[in-house]
Structure 1
Amino acid sequence: MRDIFDAELKQLGEDLVAMSGRVEQAVTSAGQALLTADLRLAESVIADDLAIDALERDLDERCVRLLAQQQPVATDLRVVVSALRMSASLERMGDLARHVAQVTRLRYPRGAVPEGLEGTFTQMQDAAVRVARRTTTLLETRDLALAESIEQDDDLLDALHSDTFSAMLSGEWRRPAQETVDVTLLGRYYERFGDHAVSVARRVVYLVTGDTAHALDPAAVRSV
């Protein structure tokens, strides 16, 4: 019976890695679509988000079944509960990639990023892709140095998000209202993407160390 339970716990970890890999692909493609006004790529991101949602539902159902049937305690309980929370964060990261793609689709054939902010959003995209890639590797390896690097990239996303507001509030901003809305939303999507990655990273740190000192979830503290 213990061997079966251990195999189920291992499968939860593997499914989280697979889910994170899909999120990594989603944000990579969503940003590429945004920066190049690629409608077909944007639509593929939107469609593929259904697969991420399905992975979350399946993983969560198995976690609940394990809790009900096995009644895990101590480390085992920590693993199952953490899997539930991490799957929710990964699903939300997939949603945010989809939101970026939806803005791209809405503005096609015109680009959604106004002139003058291409560099800022390119940096945001690069940071988001790094965050996603490191999240996948962190779930595979539980390398705590990666958890720290995810937090650093999240700090960069926060700073770039602030830069978008500085640009819009400057006296030189003369863009239409719709472009202002687009920039506001896109910046928010990238900023939240980083927050949810930090949530996953902190949960992995908690799994490895048992230390709750840094387990506060930024994605839960701030509004979704």
Structure 2
Amino acid sequence: MIHILVAEDDAHIRELLRYYLQKEGYVLFEAEDGQMASNILEREHIHLAVVDIMMPNKNGYELCEEIRKYYDLPVIILTAKDQLLDKERGFSAGTDDYLVKPFEPKELLFRIKALLRRYQIVSSENIVLKHTIIDRKSYEVRCNEKTVMLPLKEFELLAQLASYPGRTFTREQLIELIWGPSFEGDARTIDVHIKRLRERFSKRTDDFVITTVRGMGYKLEVK
């Protein structure tokens, strides 16, 4: 059974989501503020979190950052805000997806199912993108049955993006994930490595593309 946490201070929205999520067979855990959501995360095995930004005690950005630090699960942020800066802050906090109120419950269901599929990829040693296989054990990429050897940082960057197709990572997040918090270079390092990856694979395969998300960072999309 899939356990979903809904952290939302609006009782009407919680009731609406309860109806649709339980109808789909999901087990629902509800929190009316950020601190209650944190308590649920500590005691329950949650597979995905739907998080409102404006909540008492702990807002959605703070809760999302906490989830990224201590748990490995997808997050969808719900908000009435539709400004680029709010989206940027949400992705910087580590959200996987972003849905603006008012929204159609069925659209949220589509996004939940897509994220659950993506996160199943992460548990495997092999990341499969159609005819491209990224082997995290041997550090090899097999592309149309031909092996491509990459420098370590390029491989780690590709594997990180490919583990979460469709998720936007900021340059700062990628620096910390791949090079570590003590790295003394700047974000242009990411741009250089992304350029090299694009050059290596653009003529080899059309299984995936690494897309620039303007003002935010990068994401890998499976074609």
Q: TM-score, normalised by structure 1?
A: 0.36
Higher share of residues assigned strand: 2
Q: TM-score, normalised by structure 2?
A: 0.36
Higher share of residues assigned helix: 1
Greater RCO, CA 8 A, separation 6+: 1
